[in-house]
Chains A and B, each alone.
Chain A
Amino acid sequence: MHFIPYVWLIPVFPLIGFVINGLLGKSLSKGKVGTIGTVAVGLSFALTVAVFLEYLRLPAAAKPVEVVVYNWLASGSFSVNVAFLVDPLSLVMLLVVSGVSTLIHLYSTGYMHDDPGFPRFFAYLNLFVCFMLILVGANNFLMMFVGWEGVGLCSYLLIGYWYEKKSASDAGKKAFVVNRVGDYGFLLGMFVIFWTFGTLNFREVFSLAAQYPVGSGIITAATLLLFVGATGKSAQIPLYTWLPDAMEGPTPVSALIHAATMVTAGVYMVARCSALYVLAPTSLAVVAVIGCATAIFAASMGTCQFDIKRILAYSTVSQLGYMFLACGVGAFVSGIFHLMTHAFFKALLFLGAGSISHALAGELDIRLMGNLRHKIPITYKTFLIATLAIAGIFPFAGFFSKDEILMYALINGNVWLWLTATVAACITAFYMFRAVYMVFFGESRVPHHVEHHIHESPPSMTIPLMALAFLSVVGGWINFPIIPGAQKFHDFLSPAIAPLGHEAHLAISAELGLMAFSMAVAAVGIYIAYKFYLVSPEIPGWLAEKFPVIYDVVYHKYYVDEIYDYLIVEPIKVGSTLLWTEVDDKVVDGTVNGSAGVVAWLSEHLRRLETGFVQNYAMAIVLGVTLVVGYLLG
């Protein structure tokens, strides 16, 4: 049985789920809606696994495989197929997306059980998965863009899912507006590529690009524009501000879209275009610096948050920064590796946060938690595993992927990138364990009326937690460092990634030294958190009083939202209103108010004809004629 030719079915299953739940969901029972949604995505996962296994057995000459469904847009020199590229990179992404999605769908059947919009939720979620699978499976930029826009749309719809809350619909709007800027970059990048190469097919573009010299202006332009798209979708400086607000959406959405899958689309895109990026050292440097800066900047903001989901959101922004740092120093494989392990442990953290708030009647403020470890043991254990993973403790998944990134930052990049990323790793360990200590240890600060309701979540929620916890432990082992032949992930993915001109390697002793160092750094972060939040909880307050300015600035997230508001949002608002009222509406508005009643209509018209508006329009036409003729003759 051959599965690869049916790879196009992978996004079709969730689409079918969307159609069924979208059209008939209201008349189906919740159990059925949840089952349809979960099974649809599960089928995609099963098919992906089948395709993956078949791909492994293919002879090297037959790889990668392009599966053309049909010719979508064709015209002489310009042709775009609806087609899927089956190669290691897309397979990894398809596996991660469909696998994590299945678990999160399952979790949602429990978490969203009492929500009145249950079918709507599953319909959106399935549609999202469909577009995400198109995004990562596409063999050309245009189809990728179809997915890119589609996931964006679902993301706005799901952020604003609880639209009764004004903050939720505002957050949806913000995500939408910020992403417009990114999409603009992506589109322009795509047009530059089309203009330069005359095709949008990945493999054709990359092989044509190989003829260009390193540092060519046009490729630098294209890659920078694409990276603008990535900063929007993957919440990097300067377009990261929407992601923390996006936490207004339901927690499974945060886990799936705003942690594990959609926000990593930018990283995937950069890795997919590695062949272009290696030709543009300037772009790589920009990617590395932006990624590195985002990693530490977002981590620092995470230290002062009290909303557990917002802590995780800043952490996501920061971890995405690591992935871009990896890509920027040419270690695309490490970037994707971290993308994968991050998908496991960050989805787990979010689902854990959802389970905590489920136990506490929706509470998200860690100041109102504490000492929960015995009351919700499964949540506690899995959350701890994920925290160890993100902190980079051996042998959890995050250790392997983060360590690789730090190593490549040093050997392919420079010592400053490495140092910054290492400090960010320390901060990460600190703020994550801050959360763990405040939620699960110490004195309980849970309000009395909530206290006796605390309960562990149902199996539909804890099973995904345990599955993800398992992956967060073992997920990194597929790319075990140092031992020869143990870097399976690297070996598998390498054919899909363009190599950087120079390959540097570290001596084993140096590599071991770096690992020990980064472990030590993480341990320092954990120790500080232990000291601050368990042993002497008065220290943070004392520090905040001692350094009020620093605390205030960090607590207010460096006032970036306010600065954007002041510098960009307000001027645009004022400008568009001015354009409307001064240029168009002065003449237009009030003309069709026909309120004078039938009796007076004639005089009304004559008056208008005599005194005003139609003449104004005619004057505008005359003015236009003057401009047109003036231009042609001038």
Chain B
Amino acid sequence: MSLTIPTFSLASIGPWLTLSVAAIAILVWDALSKERPAAVPAVSLAALVIAAVQSLTLLGKKGTDFAGMVYVDGFTALAYLILILGAALTIFLSWRYLEEYGKNLSEYYALLLFATTGMMIMVAGAHLIMIFLGLEVMSIAVYVLAGFLREDLKSNEAAMKYLVLGAFSSAILLFGMALIYGAAGGTLYLNELAKKLAVTKAVTQPLILLGLGLIVVGFGFKVAAVPFHMWTPDVYEGAPTSVTAYMAVAVKAAAVATFLRVLYVSFPGFAADWTWLLWGLAVATMTLGNVVAIAQTNIKRMLAYSSIAHAGYLLVGLVAANQLAAVGILYYLLAYTLMNIGAFAAILLVSRQQDRYLNIYDYCGLGRQHPGLAAAMSVFMFALAGMPPTAGFVGKLYIFAAAVQAGYIWLVILAVMNSLVSVYYYLRITVLMYMRPAEADLGPVSFTPAVTATLAATALAVVLVGIFPGWFYDLAAASVKIFSL
């Protein structure tokens, strides 16, 4: 018997290796040091920078590696970069915030890097098991992160809820994958699934659809689509603010990118089934997210519903299922990462010591007291609301234009209406900041260099990426050619 070892290149998974090695090194380093090593955030950032450089080298590639288990292509690389950006910005937000709680521990950064690695495994997964593996690596790390403030009751509750429901949804996802495995006659490779399912369709159609439905539910949970969204407000509100920011952008980005690939690569033959299903989910998600966000007075909760609404817009892109839609989704993920992290940076500053001020009325009069902070927050609110010429506007435009091209006029009509409704609650924050006198003296804002820099950089980027979207568009357009849409 001869054993052939498939050839592979470690460079194909370079970013994973860098981040996971860095995470392990941080843990070991922490265990061996007497004092808490202060350079951990810097080391984590350095690892992310290296991973970003490695991702850049993958941009032009096309194909798979590790015996067809891992995608090595531009789409994956762009997704990596967006995830790395999210993780890096989160680190900037984190350390001062954690210090306030006396929790600036090395584990936090290690977990963040592990979660990011999991996301990368997920978006690069060319095999359903790889995807599941990545999803679990990510989820477990994020469960812990959500409960990172051990003594804080809300943080605990958030982690507990996320864990229980996350496990539940993972089981559903896994069950769906198992059914697909059976229905396809024994394969889990995304590329092969499409072909095999086309053959077995005549016999196993109900089984395929059941499996597909369960997969949709599993991803729906991670992206916070209605009706699988219920954990979102509680977990977003309870988790440490820096973790909430991370969950809102990176977890959603990883899930959407993976979902996109699974649907477009493995289930194009069932588009007639899933497009209308996602159509319904998109409408429900946008509408509930936006309408309920109006009634929120806790800003983290408001942004939780906002993030549900944005999941709805992303689903509109998935429904459209054309090249422009795929580009639009990537662009949207980038825009969303920038504007949401920026908004959370502002929230961190306004909430002051230990999340004391999270009510939206705590923003009254901010325009007078801290004009720079208020101006940046306004930029993020306008961007989230999709006001031109910010990146949020361009992202929506790409996605809605893709849906128009694909002929989903009613979906666009509803999406535009939602988008207009959403302006109300985003703009309200601006109105409170500029048009209401401060209700009470909340004390000074401690502008730390890292958070201030994040705020300024994301605000600037949100505007610039909106005014000059061309470079990213070209990158994304080249990368989504792999999908035969």
Contacts and interface: CB of A to CB of B under 8 A. Distances in A.
Interface stretch (A93-101, A391-399, A426-434, A573-581): A573-581
A580 B168 contact: no
B388 A76 contact: no
Interface in B411-439: 412-413, 416-417, 420-421, 423-424, 427, 431, 434-437
Given A194-B401, A592-B234, A621-B165, A75 B477 contact: yes
A172 B435 contact: yes
A503 interface: no
B220 A624 contact: yes
Contact of B436 (A163, A609, A628): A163
Contacts of A78: 324, 401, 405
B431 A146 contact: no
Contact of B230 (A195, A605, A617): A617
B35 interface: no
Contacts of A633: 206, 209-210, 213
Interface stretch (B42-50, B83-91, B150-158, B347-355): B150-158
Nearest to B434: A157
Interface stretch (A180-188, A247-255, A338-346, A555-563): A180-188
B323 interface: yes
A77 B324 CA distance: 10
A169 interface: yes
A72 B397 CA distance: 12
A631 B151 contact: no
Interface stretch (A319-327, A452-460, A582-590): A582-590
Interface stretch (A362-370, A529-537, A594-602): A594-602
A374 B299 CA distance: 57
B288 A583 contact: yes
Contacts of B221: 621
Interface string B380-392: 0010000111000
Contacts of B387: 149, 153
B423 A72 contact: no
Contacts of A580: 291-292, 294-295
For the complex, would chain B's binding face be called helix, strand, loop or mixed by DSSP majority? helix
Contacts of A613: 161
B288 A605 contact: no
A598 B153 contact: yes
A219 B146 CA distance: 53
Interface string B164-178: 110011001000000
A142 interface: yes
Given A576-B294, A620-B227, A621-B227, A614 B213 contact: no
Contact of A631 (B164, B280, B467): B280
Contacts of B294: 576, 580
Contacts of A70: 468, 470
Interface in A194-213: 194-195
Interface in B181-239: 206, 209-210, 212-214, 216-217, 220-221, 227-228, 230-231, 233-234, 237-238
A625 interface: yes
Given A142-B397, A580-B291, A625-B217, A183 B431 contact: no
Interface string B434-468: 11110000000000000000000000000000011
A88 interface: no
B292 A592 contact: no
Contacts of B394: 73
A336 to B, nearest CB: 25
A511 to B, nearest CB: 45
Contacts, number: 187
B149 to A, nearest CB: 11
A187 B416 contact: yes
A618 interface: yes
Given A150-B388, A184-B416, A592-B237, A191 B400 contact: yes
Contacts of A187: 416, 420
A629 B291 contact: no
A160 B213 contact: no
A539 interface: no
A621 B324 contact: no
A58 B291 CA distance: 54
B100 interface: no
Nearest to B382: A153
B217 A621 contact: yes
A29 interface: no
A62 interface: no
A216 interface: no
Given A73-B473, A195-B409, A621 B435 contact: no
A548 B160 CA distance: 68
B157 A592 contact: yes
Interface residues of B, number: 79
Contacts of B291: 576, 579-580
A74 interface: yes
Contacts of A72: 467, 469-470
B197 to A, nearest CB: 14
B277 interface: yes
B20 to A, nearest CB: 31
B157 A594 contact: yes
A614 to B, nearest CB: 5
B436 A73 contact: no
Interface in A111-157: 142, 145-146, 149-150, 153, 156-157
Nearest to B175: A625
B92 interface: no
Interface in B80-122: none
A164 B397 contact: no
A581 to B, nearest CB: 8
Nearest to B389: A146
B404 A191 contact: yes
A265 to B, nearest CB: 15
A73 B295 contact: no
A616 B226 CA distance: 14
B437 A188 contact: no
A184 B417 contact: yes
A345 B397 CA distance: 39
B427 A176 contact: yes
Contact of B227 (A173, A596, A605, A627): A627
A180 B228 contact: no
Nearest to A131: B388
Given A149-B387, A592-B154, A633-B210, A73 B161 contact: no
Interface string B60-82: 00000000000000000000000
Nearest to A634: B209
Nearest to A628: B213
22 contacts: A70-B468, A71-B470, A76-B324, A145-B388, A157-B435, A163-B435, A169-B431, A176-B424, A184-B420, A188-B416, A195-B404, A580-B294, A584-B288, A592-B233, A594-B157, A594-B238, A604-B153, A617-B230, A624-B217, A628-B213, A629-B209, A633-B210
Given A76-B323, A594-B154, A632-B210, 17 more contacts: A73-B394, A163-B435, A164-B437, A172-B435, A187-B420, A576-B294, A579-B288, A604-B153, A614-B165, A620-B227, A621-B172, A621-B217, A624-B220, A625-B217, A631-B276, A632-B209, A632-B274
Interface of A: 22, 26, 70-78, 82, 142, 145-146, 149-150, 153, 156-157, 160, 163-164, 169, 172-173, 176-177, 180, 183-184, 187-188, 191, 194-195, 576-577, 579-580, 583-585, 587-588, 591-592, 594, 596-598, 601, 604-605, 608-609, 613-614, 616-618, 620-621, 623-625, 627-629, 631-633
A-B residue pairs, 5 tightest by C-beta: A594-B153, A163-B435, A146-B388, A624-B227, A629-B213
Interface of B: 151-154, 156-158, 160-161, 164-165, 168-169, 172, 206, 209-210, 212-214, 216-217, 220-221, 227-228, 230-231, 233-234, 237-238, 273-274, 276-277, 280, 288, 291-292, 294-295, 323-324, 327, 371, 375, 382, 387-389, 394, 397-398, 400-401, 404-405, 409, 412-413, 416-417, 420-421, 423-424, 427, 431, 434-437, 467-470, 473, 477
